[in-house]
Amino acid sequence: MLKDIKNKLIVSCQALPNEPLHSSFIMGRMAMAAKMGGAAAIRAQGVEDINEIINVFLMRLHVLRGTLMRMAKKSANI
């Protein structure tokens, strides 16, 4: 795993309780934006934030999987 992130961007998606962006919902979306921007890894704090980040990524993978399956079915019918 370390060789996969060596010399690559690691983005910290963390906010303390007294900061305006402190929200697991927001951290999940920030992590997705970081990944879309090329981050190789995400640094997060707290179980709630980590779970939300995982859920956002799984939700995105589920949507992508559904899209790919529809495309495959469509091309098989051609």
pLDDT in the model for residue 78: 56
Angle ∠(33,34,39) on CA atoms, nearest 5: 145
Closest-CA residue to 45 (of 65, 69, 27, 71):
27
Residue 65 bridge partners (DSSP): none
pLDDT in the model for residue 24: 94
pLDDT in the model for residue 70: 76
Question: Which domain, by its residues, includes 57?
Answer: 2-76
Segments of the chain scoring below 50 in pLDDT: none
pLDDT in the model for residue 71: 75
Closest-CA residue to 48 (of 73, 78, 13):
13
How many domains are contained in the chain? 1
In the 3-class helix/strand/coil scheme, how is 43-74 assigned residue by residue? EECCHHHHHHHHHHHHHHHHHHHHHHHHHHHH
